[in-house]
Structure 1
Amino acid sequence: GHLPGKSAILVLLEKSQWFLLDHRNYLNSQRYYNMKRFDHCKYSNSSIATNIEGQSENIENGQFHSELSKDQIVIKDKSIQKNGMPPISTLPVEEILKSYLTTLDLDNCETESDNAFFVADLGEIYRQHLRWKTNLPRVEPFYAVKCNTDLTLLRLLAALGTGFDCASKSEIKTILDMGIDPSKIIYANPCKQSSFIRFAAEHDVKMMTFDNAEELRKIKRFFPNAQLVIRILTDDSKALIKLGTKFGASLNNTGFLLQTARDLGLSVIGVSFHVGSGCYDENAYIDAIHRARFVFDQATELGFNFNLLDVGGGFSFSHKSDDGISFEKIAALLGPAIDKYFPPNIRVIAEPGRYYAAPAFTIATHIIAKRTVRRDIEEEYIPNMNADQNDVSPTGDDHPAFMYYINDGLYGAFNCILYDHQLVTPKVLMKGGNFLFGETLDEPEYSCFIWGPTCDSIDCITKNGSLPELLPGDWLYFEEMGAYTIAAATKFNGFKQSKIIYTTTEPHVLDALSL
């Protein structure tokens, strides 16, 4: 009904499924979720005035309409707003997309309501966590915050009990501000700014990595009580993103570094490694385990008592092997190798990032412009031909038939193409007003370029696309877009970062978040 500014409505849809609308999202919720389409409840189509000062809103003169009984409508107090949680649906991603797009009137919609947007299924993160615990029960995941810094994702992972791999003061502060114990953080950047080391010391974030002698001297000066982990060099030649050119001490140098740490009176507690992101050879992990064991033995000879092994990141998130190797295949080798070379008293952690974040996010993008390429580059215009069909043929020759321009790109969420070597696959979401999520169209496909919205010619998402002919106003979607997308997006040319709509297809997520 008529609510105070900081209130929220909690509508119980089923025994373990509910839908939250806070005071700032009534207007958006009509557009996002189209509750009139729900089987369980609906509200009348009304004018909703939202005030940025947080004043009360009016839902058709204060009347909330529901097919539920009165005792199933619960008014929640300010604590939900204090927790900072956004609205979370329980609909499948497909239904969220459909509800949003089928109610969007491009002729009359508000400015920017046709922007690109993400749908994040928190249920995917939950299922990935269960998958991890099933396949690598001994290894504690410390989520790589750099991969995706979305607060809702981070809160869910914290609720599930993961630790956090942080690379900067800002990332550490983000995690500490969530109330996470400092012992659940590893400062996994071997080359740190001095003031950041001081910040870690002031907040008791003790675990941190190093791979060079100067770093040890710096840590001795600013955080002599730190618990250090030596980052070693591994064979990352079978990875898409090779980190060994920048980080990691070679086995020829580890003895010297450990001796230096001992001379400085520093505490070194273990070894970390990273085989590189997108590793497509599971044997790289086994080689790294052997190297780590070698350094453990070196440390014992020098009087250290190591108790930690950090096996890094780079884990595949897919159940398939077409993106490298499956997580299950890696785990089937890595788990037994850990048990063979490291006794049960050794704590084992890892730094997965894309494993958790990538599969949870789908982005929907709007085609804002189109060029028929061959007509534009034709040397001699043939007036007798139909202009719409002039020199356009299905996929199979050397030049694109069409160029499509969408409203997110390399400077936004698709920076993953440039920096993370990610291969993205455009799929048709909406064509001619028809919702086509997950469908295969029985239409000829044409080669195409897909460009982002900025004025930079580097802003190209793909130059080898193959799609049916589309028009401005149609929509595309890209799946598995949660890793190294949002975290590195910019506002270049004044384009906003794509918003996120949250849902969960796993009811236990709501329990985990205590909502």
Structure 2
Amino acid sequence: MEKPLSRDDLIRFIRSIISNEQVEQTDSFYVLDFGAIRSLVDTWFHHLPTVQPFYAVKCNPNPAFLGQMAALGTGFDCASLAEIETVLCLGVSPDRIIFANTCKPESHIKYAAKVGVNLTTFDSICELEKIRKWHPKCALLIRIKVPETSSTATFKFGSKFGALPEEIVPLLKAAQEAKLRVVGVSFLIGRRALNFQAIQDAIETAKATFETAAQLGLPKFHILDIGGGFSSGPKFTEAASAVKVALEKHFRNELADDGLRIMAEPGRFFAKSPFILATSVTGKRVRGEVREYWINDGISGSFNILLRKNHDEIPCTPLTVENPICLEMKTWSSTVFGPTCDPADTVFKDFELPELNVNDWLVFHDMGAYTSSRGNDFNGFKTSAIPTYIADKN
């Protein structure tokens, strides 16, 4: 199994970019480790060999990253016309795309029909009417709201997506009357769910929906989409085990006769760790024992994620021009500001850092999930213009 670059190798690679006189890199930039992508895909198929991943493009639509995912054989979860178009431009076949948005503009549905994206989700009568009108040959997955009592997900989706239990029968009947083809069930337990009982509860609820459809006389369902919410690392092994146990318990017969296609829509699992963000120090202020620094990316850009998570979850490596071994230096309580005029643009506070100066660097690891994709160009600091350098041992 291929391994990602070590942290030391990544830092050496970053230093080579910074010290390249021909490039004169002073703006922030990303490094994308292709080896990390290949390692994660290997890990997924090792632990969940029967579950086909459809990468959630919204998590990070970097073209080089998507190209690697396409080359490694994953599918793609797209939520809009633009995302579908991006993936198709990579040469990906439309049958490797699920249009996983339960409320789509009519123009986007028309486009999906035109280009042959023939699998989508729904959770309302209104969506069925739009699909009947503009893409009646599309195969459908009914998105269900799963029980959230056992979920410890940090970001739940049930308030916006998913049919309630009492809505499932009316929706299936409406699809049947409209002569639309419902082929399975999808759900999402929530982002970074840590209580694996929630996975088992969701799969049990999905099986009940399969049975309901059979009782209504619909053609036999053959697709189960278990959504996303997976994190890489040790927790993934536990989550994969919970998935396999629940599938064996509730879908044993379907698995035995090879009559079930299982999909997932992971985003963070694949995108988080392969990206590293390097930012340079553009300003400094000393107030007593506190050091305050400005860097050239912030809350309006790649660090938008800090509005939803604790900064302690983002590993940070300082790189100084004068002393390469920063970890052995005295540290100071430090505040790190982003570049904009927004007073809320504070990346870190009360964070221990060595003494830094203008043109030193802060390198942030695990910065691929919902970072550049959520950033904007506020104050003229363009997240969309941050370059990406490829690190590849092959």
Normalising by structure 1, we get a TM-score of 0.70
Taking the TM superposition and a 5 Å limit, the aligned residue runs for 1:408-419 are 408-418=297-307
Please give the root-mean-square deviation of Cα atoms over the aligned residues, in Å.
1.9
Aligned with residue 96 of structure 1, among 1, 4, 13: 13
Q: Percent same amino acid among aligned pairs?
A: 40
Taking the TM superposition and a 5 Å limit, the aligned residue runs for 1:421-500 are 423-425=312-314, 427-436=316-325, 440-443=327-330, 445-497=331-383, 498-500=386-388
Q: Which amino acid aligns with 2:390?
A: Y
* Residue 224 (structure 2) aligns with: 309
CA distance in 1, matches of 2:248, 2:312: 35
* Residue 178 (structure 1) aligns with: 90
Taking the TM superposition and a 5 Å limit, the aligned residue runs for 1:193-208 are 193-208=105-120
Q: Deviations over 1:35-93 (max 9, x none)?
A: xxxxxxxxxxxxxxxxxxxxxxxxxxxxxxxxxxxxxxxxxxxxxxxxxxxxxxxx942
Structure 1: gaps (5+ residues): 1-90, 320-325, 374-390, 393-400, 508-515
Taking the TM superposition and a 5 Å limit, the aligned residue runs for 1:209-248 are 209-236=121-148, 237-248=151-162
Q: Is 1:502 aligned to residue 390 of structure 2?
A: yes
Q: Deviations over 1:464-495 (max 9, x none)?
A: 31222322222111100011112122222112
CA distance in 2, matches of 1:136, 1:425: 27
* Residue 383 (structure 1) aligns with: none
Q: Deviations over 1:251-303 (max 9, x none)?
A: 12111111111111111000000011121211111110011001000011112
CA distance in 1, matches of 2:329, 2:297: 27
> Is the contact made by 1:209 and 1:230 (CA closer than 8 Å) also made in structure 2?
yes
* Residue 292 (structure 1) aligns with: 206
Q: Which amino acid aligns with 1:310?
A: D
CA distance in 2, matches of 1:270, 1:364: 43
> Is the contact made by 1:168 and 1:187 (CA closer than 8 Å) also made in structure 2?
yes
Aligned residues: 377
Taking the TM superposition and a 5 Å limit, the aligned residue runs for 1:271-420 are 271-304=185-218, 305-319=220-234, 326-342=235-251, 343-344=254-255, 345-373=259-287, 391-392=288-289, 401-418=290-307
Cα distance, 1:418 vs structure 2:
2.1
CA distance in 2, matches of 1:419, 1:299: 38
CA distance in 2, matches of 1:267, 1:93: 49
CA distance in 2, matches of 1:207, 1:357: 24
> Is the contact made by 1:98 and 1:435 (CA closer than 8 Å) also made in structure 2?
no
Structure 2: gaps (5+ residues): 1-7
Q: Is 1:264 aligned to residue 264 of structure 2?
A: no
Q: Which amino acid aligns with 1:159?
A: A
CA distance in 2, matches of 1:238, 1:440: 35
> Is the contact made by 1:405 and 1:453 (CA closer than 8 Å) also made in structure 2?
yes
When residues 487 and 481 of structure 1 are mapped into structure 2, their CA distance, relative to the original with a 3 A threshold, is same
CA distance in 2, matches of 1:495, 1:187: 32
> Is the contact made by 1:367 and 1:406 (CA closer than 8 Å) also made in structure 2?
yes
Q: Deviations over 1:361-396 (max 9, x none)?
A: 1111111111223xxxxxxxxxxxxxxxxx42xxxx
**Structure 1 segments of 4+ aligned residues over 3 angstroms from their partners:** 102-105, 419-426
CA distance in 1, matches of 2:125, 2:309: 30
Q: Deviations over 1:329-358 (max 9, x none)?
A: 100111121133222210000001111111
Cα distance, 1:431 vs structure 2:
2.0
Q: Deviations over 1:223-273 (max 9, x none)?
A: 111100011112344111111111011112111111111111111000000
Secondary structure at the counterpart of residue 161 of structure 1: coil
Structure number having the greater helix percentage: 2
When residues 264 and 226 of structure 1 are mapped into structure 2, their CA distance, relative to the original with a 3 A threshold, is same
> Is the contact made by 1:308 and 1:347 (CA closer than 8 Å) also made in structure 2?
yes
Cα distance, 1:427 vs structure 2:
2.8
When residues 353 and 457 of structure 1 are mapped into structure 2, their CA distance, relative to the original with a 3 A threshold, is same
> Is the contact made by 2:311 and 2:348 (CA closer than 8 Å) also made in structure 1?
no
Normalising by structure 2, we get a TM-score of 0.91
